[in-house]
Structure 1
Amino acid sequence: MSGLTAQPWFCPALGVIIGLPLALLLLNELHGALVRRASSYARPVALLRNWVLPACAVYLLVAQLEQADVHATWSKLAATVFGFLIMLLLLSGANAALFGEARAGSWRERLPGIFIDLGRLVLIILGVGLLLSWVWGANIGGLIAAVGVTSIVIGLAVQTAVGPVIAGLLLLFEQPFRIGDWLDTAPAKGRVVEVNWRAAHIDTGNGIQIVPNAMLATGSFTNLSRVQGAAYQATAMLAFGPDDPPGAVASALLAVATGLPTRLAHTPARVVSLGEAKYKVSVPITSPADEGRTKALLLHRAWYAAQRAGLHLDEASPDPELAEKYVGAALTRVAAALGLDDDAVATMAGQARQLLYAEGEIIQQVNSVPDTVGFITAGSVGMIVYADDGRELPLGSLGVGDYIGGTSLTRQRMITGVVALADTTIVAVGRDAMNRVVQNNPRLARQIGGAIEMRRKAATDALAEAAAGVR
């Protein structure tokens, strides 16, 4: 028995027979725990269990052939395979340690995958060279020198083509933008939908613009999705007449900007006077995707607001004579429909004016006290009310021949609001003039009172139904 244990192969064989099953069992349990935790170390542990340890056992057993009298290369082959697997294990473990648990925004998370692959390839080549040198005694000095000279020649030959690629890879490493960001570049403006090692794909709204990363790396661009303030600002420059009061202009523009549907809630719009009758309007929006629509709505509604306020947007001058003729003709039609005489028309004309509203503009706010009675002469409006949870509840629409603002005669707050459903023209008659007309026409007073009660009831019923639905 002592002769058996004295053999040089006994201890290695005993270690393989007893140690290998125990090690595999422990590694199997460890691998299961890492998989359940979704750990990045599960892969190197699996490599160690499935390949490295079995290769180590084979190498220990085959190495005993060196004790025989014959010369065998099996041990060198086993050592080569074992060394290669050790190298893969070290690379896998390093990858898990460096990049598997990388925090968002860190340099490890931003490093492009191609850099990792190139680094892994270089290390594998060096490792294979060392294995050939240590195990087989090969002279790799000449090979390294040849590879170095070849690399220099190839690099000089393709430096023009490779330079932009390297610049693009460095851009990816810096990551000044991500997929979903909005970029304003020299060739295109839009949302980034794809980024690879060669180019960025930008959706311009009229197709995909392919912008090489090298162009972005060597030029300048604006990342519209990364702003320092609370929100992205859609801006527009507007010019008014030199005689328009700056306060009136700023007030009208601020009212328009605040009422835009794309404006970010709880974030105020701003109007800045730039001098020379020019004004900058900034509207906070959710993303640059809403910029085009916001600017279009702003410019559209600003024209109507300027007409109502008597301002001169782009130095356009409203024609007061034309507006006066329109008001007179409209009131004549209104009087005929309501059964009023010429004296009533003259009374209303003394305090009447033409008001233009763009589609979507709020004509009368909820819980406001109107100071005019408005007769709809073109377009249509919708009546709305807001539920307790902020939902907008529609109550119906009014068209040409209908009127709004009847509570101006009773000095009551309107529980309903009025919004333009299309570009709308209203002839607004002042409260005092309408009071005199109504006092002389009891039938009109009853008609306006009935309309007020009917609209109030419709709003009350809608609110009650919305509250019941919430419960």
Structure 2
Amino acid sequence: MADIVSQPWFWPAVIVSVGLPLLLIGLTEMHNAMARRGSRAAPIVLMVRNYLVPVAGVLVLISQPGAWEGEGTWPKVVTTIFGLLVILVVINAINHLVFHRAEKGSWRDRFPTIFSDLIRFVFILVGIALLFWWVWGADVAGIFAALGVTSIVVGLALQNAVGSVVSGLFLIFEAPFQLGDWIETGDVRGQIIEVNWRAIHLDVGNGTVVMPTSELAGGSFTNLSRSPEPYAAQRAFSFATDDPPARVRALLVDVARDIPLVSADRDPSVATLDGAQFQVSIPLQSPGDKDVVLDAFSTRLWYAARRADLHLNGDVTDEWNTPGRLQDALHQIAPILSLRPEDAEALAVSARLERFCQGEVILRPGMIPTATRYILAGRVMLGIPTDAGLVQVTELGRDDAVGLTALTRTQTISRAIALTELEVLTIPVHLLDDVVRAHPVLAREIVRENDNRVRLARSALAAVGEHLAPGRNVFG
């Protein structure tokens, strides 16, 4: 037994036959645990288990004295394979520790991938050259000299192309933007969806613009997403010179506030320009919403200006709002108000026709209506805002009323939004008071309709796990 233990091959054989399986089992468990956590180091452990450790075991066995006659070629081959695997494992481990585990926003996180790839490539070449020099006795000095001369020649031939690429890489390394940011340069405004060493891809809404990074590096651009204040969409509008500026400014702000996609962190603002012009500034949730918001604002402003008797673009004509159409509307709602047609015509002194565009808010929670609007054409959605969003209660149509709480002078709990272009007949509350005094049945009908809407509200809220607070029984 002592003779066997003293043999030079005994302990290497024990290490390989016993230590190798244990090491493989340990590496397998480590890889499985890292894979379950989603660690990016798991492939490195897998490479060590599947390749490096088995080759190391073979190298231990064939490197023993007497295993090969003379110098032997196979030990050198196995040593070369082992050296290559060591180089790959070490370089991947360093790359993981330095770059993959970098903190968000640190210089390692911003380091361009192309730079790290080039550094790895250089280290692999140097490692292979040193490995062949050490194992095979190769003369690597000539190889390095040839590589140096070749790199100089290629660099001179491609200096313009390489210069633009390098300038773009330095721009990426500086990281003045990141994926998802909105930038504006010249006539191009878009969202960054991809960044690589050669170009930046911008989603401009109707396609993708591929812009070389060197073009951005050599010029100027604006990062719309890096402003401390929300990005604001701006547009100028003109009104008639007789329109009071204070009323115009208030109208512009009110219309802007009700548009979806507007930032809640800052209120819209208006600046008065020369020649009865006003520039509105609308803060947005995202710079990409600019075109959508301005389109919705311009559309709604046309309707709101007509309702406020202001003259957008100096237009003083309104061929829709005519006395004849008003009389037809009064005849339409006369039965609802329990009025005879001739009595309804007397309301024309104070009643008025109004139009709303799709999406406009007619009634909002907490508002005390000063008039009741009867729908002549179009549809309205009544809903209640909750923490989970707007819960739809019912849909109103022709001859239905919006603003039932006007008579009671109480706040409503509902939000009314036009689902289509809407035509309404607006009757001020003082006019409704006179009608109710003359026809008490109208008051009972209004109360009955309000109670019906409250029941619908309770059912709609219960369907989504919400409930109507006690005492909140006044609906629009």
Q: What is the TM-score of this pair, normalised by structure 1?
A: 0.81
Residue in structure 2 matched with residue 204 of structure 1 by the alignment: 204
Q: Tell me the C-alpha RMSD between the 2 structures.
A: 3.7
Q: SS where residue 291 of structure 1 aligns?
A: helix
CA distance in 2, matches of 1:267, 1:67: 78
1:462 to 2:456 alignment: yes
| Cα contact 1:359–1:420 (8 A) shared by 2 | yes
CA distance in 1, matches of 2:57, 2:411: 91
CA distance in 2, matches of 1:50, 1:337: 85
| Cα contact 1:240–1:312 (8 A) shared by 2 | yes
Q: SS where residue 237 of structure 1 aligns?
A: strand
Task: Name the structure with the higher helix share.
Answer: 1
- Deviation by residue 1:241-298 (Cα, 9 ceiling, x = unmatched): 455433322221221112113334x534221325434444343443334322211111
| Cα contact 1:395–1:458 (8 A) shared by 2 | no
- Deviation by residue 1:141-164 (Cα, 9 ceiling, x = unmatched): 222222111111111112222333
- Deviation by residue 1:100-152 (Cα, 9 ceiling, x = unmatched): 32223333333333322222221121122222333333332222222111111
- Deviation by residue 1:316-336 (Cα, 9 ceiling, x = unmatched): 14348x68x714651365148
Residue in structure 1 matched with residue 303 of structure 2 by the alignment: 304
| Cα contact 2:354–2:424 (8 A) shared by 1 | yes
Pick one of 29, 32, 48 that aligns with 1:32: 29
Q: SS where residue 197 of structure 2 aligns?
A: coil
Residue in structure 2 matched with residue 283 of structure 1 by the alignment: 282
Residue in structure 2 matched with residue 361 of structure 1 by the alignment: 360
CA distance in 1, matches of 2:368, 2:75: 99
Q: SS where residue 322 of structure 2 aligns?
A: helix
| Cα contact 2:371–2:406 (8 A) shared by 1 | yes
- Which residue identity lines up with residue 422 of structure 1 in the other structure? T
- Deviation by residue 1:161-213 (Cα, 9 ceiling, x = unmatched): 23333333334434444444333344643333333333233333323322223
Change (3 A) 1:134 1:397: same
Change (3 A) 1:420 1:284: same
Residue in structure 2 matched with residue 372 of structure 1 by the alignment: 371
1:304 CA displacement: 2.1
CA distance in 2, matches of 1:398, 1:268: 35
Q: SS where residue 173 of structure 1 aligns?
A: helix
Residue in structure 2 matched with residue 95 of structure 1 by the alignment: 95
Which segment drifts farther, 204-213 or 428-437?
Answer: 428-437
CA distance in 1, matches of 2:364, 2:84: 77
Instruction: Give the number of aligned pairs.
Output: 455
- Which residue identity lines up with residue 447 of structure 2 in the other structure? E
Change (3 A) 1:3 1:342: closer
Structure 1 gap ranges (5+): none
- Deviation by residue 1:424-469 (Cα, 9 ceiling, x = unmatched): 3444344444544565x53xx52x3254134212211112212433
Residue in structure 2 matched with residue 267 of structure 1 by the alignment: 265
CA distance in 2, matches of 1:217, 1:414: 56
Residue in structure 1 matched with residue 422 of structure 2 by the alignment: 424
1:11-410 alignment runs, 5 A limit: 11=8, 13-24=9-20, 25-26=22-23, 28-38=25-35, 39-63=39-63, 70=70, 72-186=72-186, 188-229=188-229, 231-264=230-263, 266-276=264-274, 277-314=276-313, 316-319=314-317, 326-327=322-323, 329-331=325-327, 334-335=330-331, 338=334, 340=340, 345-346=345-346, 348-366=347-365, 368-376=367-375, 379-382=377-380, 384-386=382-384, 391-399=390-398, 404-405=402-403, 407-409=405-407
CA distance in 1, matches of 2:5, 2:317: 117
CA distance in 2, matches of 1:61, 1:408: 97
Change (3 A) 1:241 1:46: same
CA distance in 1, matches of 2:333, 2:80: 104
Change (3 A) 1:373 1:139: closer
| Cα contact 1:332–1:345 (8 A) shared by 2 | no
| Cα contact 1:327–1:352 (8 A) shared by 2 | no
| Cα contact 2:327–2:345 (8 A) shared by 1 | yes
Change (3 A) 1:357 1:166: same
- Which residue identity lines up with residue 360 of structure 2 in the other structure? E
| Cα contact 2:330–2:344 (8 A) shared by 1 | no
1:32 CA displacement: 1.7
Which segment drifts farther, 97-106 or 178-187?
Answer: 178-187
Residue in structure 2 matched with residue 449 of structure 1 by the alignment: 443
Which segment drifts farther, 99-108 or 238-247?
Answer: 238-247
Which segment drifts farther, 244-253 or 348-357?
Answer: 348-357
Which segment drifts farther, 83-92 or 363-372?
Answer: 363-372
Structure 2 gap ranges (5+): 467-476
Q: SS where residue 391 of structure 1 aligns?
A: strand
| Cα contact 1:190–1:204 (8 A) shared by 2 | yes
| Cα contact 1:416–1:456 (8 A) shared by 2 | no
- Which residue identity lines up with residue 198 of structure 2 in the other structure? R
CA distance in 2, matches of 1:67, 1:417: 90
Q: What is the TM-score of this pair, normalised by structure 2?
A: 0.80
CA distance in 2, matches of 1:341, 1:58: 107
